Structure 1
Amino acid sequence: MRLITTLWAFLAICFTTGNALTIIDSTIATSCIYYEKQFKWGCSKSGLSYNCYCKNINWLQTITNCVYNATSSTHLRKHAFEHIIKRCKSSGKVSLTMEQLYKYQENGTHYLVDYTPLAKKYIVNGTLKVNETDFDWYHKKFKEYTVFVERSQWFGWGLVLYWVFIISIASIFNINKRLLGFKFLRRYKNMINKTLLIPSMFKNYHDRPFILWKIFPFDFPTRDSALVITGFTILTIVSVCVGYNVTLPHPNFTTRLYANIKLIGFRTDLMAISLFPVIYFFGIRNNPFTYISGISYSKFNLYHKCCAYACTILAFMHTVVYTIWAVKSDTYSARAKRPYWRWGIVATTLLFLLVFHSNKMIRNYMYETFLLCHKIMSVMFIVAMYYHMKSYGWMGWVWSMIAIYSFDRFMRLVRIILHGGIVTATLKDCGDGIIKMTVKKPRYLRYKAGSYAFVYFLSSKYAFFYNFQSHPFTVLTDPTKDPNNPSTLMFYFKAHKGITRNILSRILSSGEESIKCRILLEGPYGAQLPQLVKPQSNMVAIAAGLGSSAVYPHIYDVLKNIDVNENEKSEYQHKFIWIIREINYLNWFHKELEWLKSKNCQVKIIVTGNNSRLLNIDTESSSKSVSEHSSNLTENLNVEKLGYRPNLQELVIKEISKSESISKDITFVGCGPAAFNDELRSSVAKSIPKESSINIEFQSESFVW
């Protein structure tokens, strides 16, 4: 099913953008138009001149005969006539038909007059014959222009193909890792992980932003992502700067300044619109390339922003140079009245607003507003680009955006319908602002470890816009049930603000242990290719706080089909390390911990809170019996009451040493608050020895927008 979805989406992109490459200006029509501009037709030189040209029978008869004399190809003649029709419609507000142009051409042959220099001084009355020597020069110059246009299109396609290359490389490695199991590059794997794949580009800032001068936030990717983005940036800059082969003198440009302005505007325009499908594809939830390539949603979201920044800068350059050109040529007032110009301003403005309000600080402080504005402006941008480009071609890029956006929305709806539409969930307060949600597993939902779902909370008791918001939560299953056929799904999430804070208040004010709520379940997402190659490494899951719900499914997936006696004899030593502030956290996660213990998985709990708060259980969500149960849990589990945050690098080094002693590869899976994730990432990268007999991997389960 997913492969069919991928193929459908890929073909949609190929067909819609592929058509855009064939819709370019007719060299013959353009040559004839500019050739005839040297004569007097009784029309002004302003931006409204086409309104006059396209109503002048002498001009129409002359231009159609010019096309006929320029080529004997029926196809090229028809294409040239189509161009004239579009030019008259868009620039002159005059509607013509193909039949009319053929009649003008035929009628013009009865009124042919020879070319004379007087035609440049006095208004032409008749159908001018073409001076072939003069026309050949115009034709040659516009062939240069056509080559430039085609080159600019291919530079735009080059940006698309760059991402095709990146996704292809990632897919090769992902398919090998999960389906084939060839161990190439094993010798260099640790070095690659240590220097490229794991560490952040800047110090240990990745999930959390680096705040410059306590004002300006900067997000830093991992080094491999930084390398990909750097390559894309260099390719974009080079593509903008090279390949300007149009020489002067030229009928379309009076000076080199005008030529540079027009050509740069054309180049940046074609490159910007070529990024439309990439931006929209990388930003959707139903991205089939996530499944094939193994690239995470968070990383695709990073590339989505990178391409959006590039597109915005290119669009800004396009806007600036064309504005300068219009002002210098004294046609700005006339052009500003045309719909394509106005819609271009709207589209560029929307691009800037989309990029600006996507800043992490704005998202964090006013997420609901950001979400609503982003959705509305994304649709408005498509509409603006449609009206900006419909008269000039290259509509394939616009249709690609529409196809991708519609595909994503359709698939979201399909997922919701297949999973029961409106379903009832049970919500329970676990203390410390953590809420547990339980849902009966929909019949057609296929659960995979590490997957997540978007949940819509429906209620008339909330503000109306909350019903349209969706929140991503990791999906878990009840460990006491059949692991291969779970009957219920569980979600743990923390109440922050907005709808989740309202839900917590509703639970606490109900006076009940739990409440019911209607929800829409969209997902699950995050599924990978089948893991046919059996992992041959120790798994060490390290979580902080609520991060346990994200790393637990991965170690659960490794242990679920292992018999206890078999696991006792296993050569692998899997471990679950949970760092929590208070012992009370054990109340809501004890079933999962006990199940891990029953599978002979090493479980270690590190409590960082001070001694006076270790048993300070929230009275609103617990009782004396629960407190006693917590005490029993501390006896059954390996609980270390540290009282402060542990040194993660020491923990990592210790686990690496253990794996080296039994010559087994090791994979660290981590999740927690942003600062914890960054510290763990940095600790693993620093702890990988230069020489080691085992491979050391790191997998972060943080969901970064």
Structure 2
Amino acid sequence: MKIVDVVLLSTLLSVASASHQWYHYNNDFYVYYGCLSALGKSATFCKKGNVGKCVCTNENALGSLLYCGYTSTKANNTGINKEISKGCVYYNVTDLTNSYYAEVYAKTLDTIVDVSNSTSFNKTEVVDYPVTSKKLKKLSHDFYISVRNRRGNIKTSHALGIAFVAASVFVMLASGVVNWSMRLSKGVSSSLDNALTRKTRKFFNLAIFRNHLHPTVLGFSPDVVETFWISIMFLYSILSCCIIGYKWYENDPSFTSYQTGTSRYWGDRSCILFSYQLPLLFLFPGRNNFFQWVTRWKYSRFVVYHKWLGRIVMMEVLIHSFAMASQTYGLHKNTRFHADWYRYGIVSTVCGCLASTVAIYAIRKHWYEIFLGAHVTLVVMFLWTGWKHTRSQLYEQFYWTCCAIWVFDRFIRLCRIALNGIHTATIEFFPGDDATIKVHVKKSKLYRNFTPGSHAFISFLSKNTFWQNHPFTAYESVTDPDTITFCCRVKKGVTRTIANKFKGSDAQSIQLKILVEGFYGEQSYYQQYDKSVFIAGNTGIVGPFSHIEKLVSSGSADRRIELYWGIRSYDALKWFGAELLSLKDKNVVPRVYISQPERSSINSSTDSTDSDHKNEEGDGILATEKKLSSPELETDLQQVLEFVEIIHGRMPVTEIIEAELKENTGTVAFGACAHTQVVDLVRMEIAKRLPSTCKRVDYFEEMQTW
């Protein structure tokens, strides 16, 4: 395990050990609390202070409480003593012993007075003798049921919250055991390949819904596995909040109406449940989430769970808020609106709702920086006001845990940046239909954790972009092993700003200071398979190429490597030609599909004002370029890339997968990183053919979206 993961796990465990001390309510507590509450409404023993403090210093009050508790058939005498001692610690009375309780109780048996039929007894006047009565016994029974319902609900709520976290961790650990076993042992992978597991993988592990990677208002659709666990979380939370374990007592002296009782139960249940879920909500989207290493899940999967768990938490926050508002009106406690803790709760709810609203896909896609700033600000406000709201109820440690996770993740991110240092990157710009920039940066001497398929977050240190950082996949340069290269397609935003720096200049490259935060991501284990097939599109070639570099360097002559790359025009070969040439005379078969070869060009210029075409994003960063006929350009490129098979037309994904599986005589791994529709099609076609395969076939989705 990486050292940062060890440190983060240790921090979380230490925070958890110092978190809210859950009181384990038991029957002795219910009897003690019922008798204490009934005694407070039946007699007065002390001129000042409440009955809880009075029983710690007044023997008559203590004797009355002991008599009520000891004569209850539901209680244990020693247990009652223990609960009284716990209550008195709050009032700094710590010298009460079992022998003292026995002595007081013995005196009480001789002096106790039954005031049931007394006409001279006034419960508001101080008495100097222990008392009992039929009304006190009835009231203690009612309070016993009342506190058992309420505190029992709290006890159940804690158990449900712990069960949610435990189940989540169990699923991740179980997944980690399977995934790590398959990575470390080819035999384990082969032993788990049979008719049953193939059908399971077809209909569950690899199954997706239509337009899986096509974004909706809620973002990208989860796959079947993710949907299954999200549904379980939703169902569990709904059952826990609204159905399991509620019971209102008609003679409840605390909550005299059904509304006030059930509203409180709903409010407590939802609050405690989402308190346990909050740390997971903050852990999942962290770039240094150690469970990503444990499970070997993609970062995008944790982001999916983060989004949907956030919606579940906000559902529970709203249930809590409306339930407590309902109880407030039912009890006619309008004074709550003037209490700071109540106002902080309202503000926290509003901030949470706004944070969820600004996270919808349309805002993230078109105004990402606005989303990021607003989301972080609102979440900080949600945590702060939530902490102010809950600290009087001793639940504030859950919020400290969230802060610890969040702050520590950002601390590690800063450490990664510091270890990588400030780099002077060489940036090349390649105009065309799919304008691309390549960023070349030297490897850090202090921090070398690059693995195939890794990505890093880059901050370009210019006046308009220094405060932004975006993820890009990297690979080792084919000309300098000490250099890492990023390929970035020019879209709107920071890549467009960088590309605009080439306007009006004949320079082939520029120098720019950058910060690199990374590297992140887990390496897919293609080396376990007899054949690896990579399907890529445009800049999606970067991830597969880095894996191919690793496979080629491993030196296995028997391993077959197939590369299918779909691009729009020959222009893409300008910025990736050297990389393809590096595969010459290796056991790699590259095939390049060019869907629109007639749009290819040379002699690129970056002046968008004279451009003959505009790219699909409308950037205007294309070229006034001298056009060549497709045959001329094709002949020229084939002389350079004579070993590459160039095919005009769209990449026939279905035929490729069918042919690769038909020809296959050993285990095969597919990797895909292309347009979302292509990636979905690859996954569906592989899943459809799994039951008919005779050897182990696996699929690794190298594309990540969030």
Give, in angstroms, the shift of residue 309 of structure 1: 1.0
Tell me which residue corresponds to 1:517. Answer: 512
- What CA deviation, in whole Å up to 9, does each residue of 1:310-339 have, x standing for no partner? 1111111111111011011100x2111112
1:62 aligns with 2:54: yes
Higher relative contact order (CA 8 A, sep 6+): 1
Go from structure 1 to structure 2 and tell me whether the alpha carbon gap of 1:527 and 1:699 turns closer, same or farther (over 3 Å shift). closer
1:197-212 equivalence runs, <5 A: 197-200=205-208, 202-203=209-210, 205-210=211-216
Pick one of 581, 588, 598 that aligns with 2:568: 581
Instruction: Find the partner of 2:682 among 680, 683, 703.
Output: 680
- Summarize the alignment of residues 2-81 of structure 1 with structure 2, pairs less than 5 Å apart: 2=2, 5-6=5-6, 8-9=8-9, 12-13=12-13, 15-16=15-16, 19-23=19-23, 31=34, 34-35=37-38, 38=41, 56-57=48-49, 62=54, 64=56, 65=58, 69=65, 76-77=83-84, 79-81=86-88
Distance (whole Å) between structure 2 residues aligned to residue 289 and residue 119 of structure 1: 70
Of 598, 601, 622, which residue of structure 2 is paired with 1:615? 601
The 2-side partners of 1:55 and 1:504 are apart by 81
**Kept after mapping to 2: 8 A contact 1:607/1:641:** yes
Deviation at residue 664 of structure 1 after TM alignment? 1.4
Contact 1:24 1:393 in 2 (8 A): no
1:287-366 alignment, distance < 5 Å: 287-331=289-333, 333-366=334-367
Query: Is contact 1:209-1:220 (8 Å) kept?
Result: yes
The correspondence for 1:190, drawn from 191, 198, 217, is 198
Aligned to 1:508: 503
Deviation of residue 81 (structure 1)?
4.5
CA drift at 1:666: 1.7
Contact 2:530 2:666 in 1 (8 A): yes
Instruction: Give the structure 2 partner of residue 48 of structure 1.
Output: none
Instruction: Give, in angstroms, the shift of residue 668 of structure 1.
Output: 1.3
Match of 1:98 among 81, 92, 99: 92
Choose from 442, 446, 449 the match for 1:446: 449
- 1:559 aligned to 549, 552, 560, which one? 552
Cross-structure match for 1:593: 580
Which of 127, 132, 137 is the equivalent residue of 1:133? Answer: 137
In the other structure, the counterpart of 1:105 is none
Q: Using a 3 Å threshold, how does the CA distance of structure 1 residues 231 and 367 change in structure 2: closer, same or farther?
A: same
Tell me the amino acid that sits aligned with residue 194 of structure 2: R
Q: Which amino acid counterpart does residue 201 of structure 2 have in structure 1?
A: N
* Structure 2 gap segments, 5+ residues each: 67-76, 97-104, 106-110, 607-621
1:698–1:38: structure 2 CA closer, same or farther, 3 Å change rule?
A: same
Which residue is 2:428 aligned to? 428
Pick the aligned partner of 1:667 from 669, 674, 678: 669
Structure 1 distance, partners of 2:416, 2:121, is 68
Q: Does 1:638 align with 2:645?
A: yes
CA distance in 1, matches of 2:6, 2:203: 33
* TM-score, with structure 1 as normaliser: 0.83
Shift of 1:235: 2.2
What does the per-residue CA deviation read over 1:396-427, in whole Å, with 9 as the maximum and x for residues that have no partner?
3222102211220111111111222x222111
SS for the counterpart of 1:468 is coil
Q: Give the C-alpha shift of residue 234 in structure 1.
A: 2.4
Deviation at 1:246, TM superposition (A): 5.7
**Other-structure match for 1:657:** 662
Which letter does structure 2 place at the counterpart of 1:327? Y
Q: Distance in 2 between matches of 1:498 and 1:297?
A: 23
Q: Does the residue aligned with 1:490 lie in a helix, a strand or coil? A: strand
| 1:344 shift after superposition | 1.2
Whole-angstrom distance in 1 between the partners of 2:455 and 2:144: 59
What letter is aligned with 1:549? V
The residue type paired with residue 407 of structure 2 is S
CA distance in 1, matches of 2:682, 2:233: 29
State the Cα distance separating 1:281 from its structure 2 match: 0.7
**2:472 counterpart of 1:473:** yes
Q: Which residue of 2 aligns with 1:379?
A: 380
Q: Which amino acid aligns with 2:678?
A: F
Q: Indicate conservation of the 8 Å contact 1:196/1:224, yes or no.
A: yes
How far did 1:589 drift?
A: 0.7
Note the C-alpha offset of 1:160.
Answer: 0.9
1:242 partner letter: I
Distance in 2 of aligned mates of 1:129 and 1:390: 37
Once the two structures are TM-superposed, the CA of residue 27 in structure 1 deviates from its matched residue by 5.4
Q: Deviations over 1:236-287 (max 9, x none)?
A: 2332311225644323221333222211111111111110111011111101
Paired residue type of 1:405: W
Match of 1:575, as an amino acid?
E
* Segment drifting more, 365-374 vs 64-73: 64-73
Which whole-Å CA distance do the structure 2 matches of 1:624 and 1:327 have between them?
77
1:521-542 Cα deviation digits (max 9, x unpaired): 111011359x6x9512311111
Query: 1:122 deviation in Å?
Result: 6.7
Counterparts of 1:553 and 1:475, CA distance in 2: 8
CA distance in 2, matches of 1:524, 1:130: 73
Decide whether the 8 Å contact of 2:601 with 2:626 is kept in 1: no
Distance 1:518 1:615, change over 3 A: closer
- DSSP-derived class of the 2:297 partner: coil
Say which one has the larger Rg: 2
- Give the 3-state SS of the residue equivalent to 2:560 in structure 1: coil
Structure 2 SS opposite 1:426:
strand
> Contact 1:340/1:387 (CA < 8 Å) preserved in 2?
yes
Could you report, residue by residue, the CA deviation over 1:445-493 in whole angstroms, capped at 9, with x for unpaired residues?
221111111112222x31xxx4232211112101244xxxx31111111
Structure 2 partner of 1:180 = 185
Q: What is the root-mean-square deviation in Å for CA atoms of aligned residues? A: 3.5
CA distance in 2 between counterparts of 1:4 and 1:635 reads 46
Residue 450 of structure 1 aligns to a residue in which SS? Answer: coil
Q: C-alpha displacement at 1:630, in angstroms? A: 3.9
- Preserved CA contact (<8 Å) 1:40 1:119: no
Instruction: Work out the CA distance in 1 between the residues paired with 2:94 and 2:467.
Output: 52
Show the counterpart of 2:614: none
Query: Quick one: structure 1 residues 225 and 119, their matched pair in 2 at CA, closer, same or farther if it must change by over 3 Å?
Result: farther
2: CA distance between counterparts of 1:384 and 1:33?
A: 34
SS in structure 1 at match of 2:492: coil
Question: How far apart, CA to CA, are the structure 2 residues paired with 1:127 and 1:440?
Answer: 86
Asked whether the equivalents of residues 459 and 516 of structure 2 are also in contact (C-alpha less than 8 Å), the reply is yes
Q: CA distance change for structure 1 residues 60 and 163 in 2, over 3 Å: closer, same or farther?
A: closer
Q: CA 1:318/1:271 → structure 2, altered by over 3 Å: closer, same or farther?
A: same
Contact 1:32-1:63 within 8 A present in 2 as well = no
In the TM superposition, what are the counterparts of 1:154-303 in structure 2 within 5 Å?
154-181=159-186, 182=188, 183-188=190-195, 189-200=197-208, 202-203=209-210, 205-210=211-216, 219-240=220-241, 241-245=243-247, 247-303=249-305
CA distance in 2, matches of 1:494, 1:101: 74
Q: Deviations over 1:534-579 (max 9, x none)?
A: 51231111111111112211222211232xxx63xx2x32111110
Alpha-carbon separation, structure 2, partners of 1:555 and 1:438: 19
Rounded Cα–Cα distance in structure 1 between residues aligned with 2:569 and 2:263? 64
1:9 maps to a residue whose letter is: L
Q: Tell which deviates more after alignment, 248-257 or 261-270.
A: 248-257
Q: Output the CA distance in 1 between the equivalents of 2:184 and 2:336.
A: 58
Distance of aligned partners of 1:650 and 1:58 in 2 relative to their CA distance in 1, 3 Å threshold: closer
| C-alpha contact (below 8 Å) 1:190/1:696 kept by paired residues | no
Give how far 1:184 is off.
Answer: 3.3
Q: Secondary structure at the match of 2:522?
A: coil
TM-score by length of 2: 0.83
Give how far 1:120 is off: 10
Instruction: Point out the more displaced range, 287-296 or 671-680.
Output: 671-680
How many residue pairs get aligned? The number is 645
1:648-703 per-position Cα deviation (integer Å, ceiling 9, x unaligned): 112211121121xxx112211111222332233223333x1532212222111122
Q: Is the 8 A contact 1:193 1:697 kept in 2?
A: no
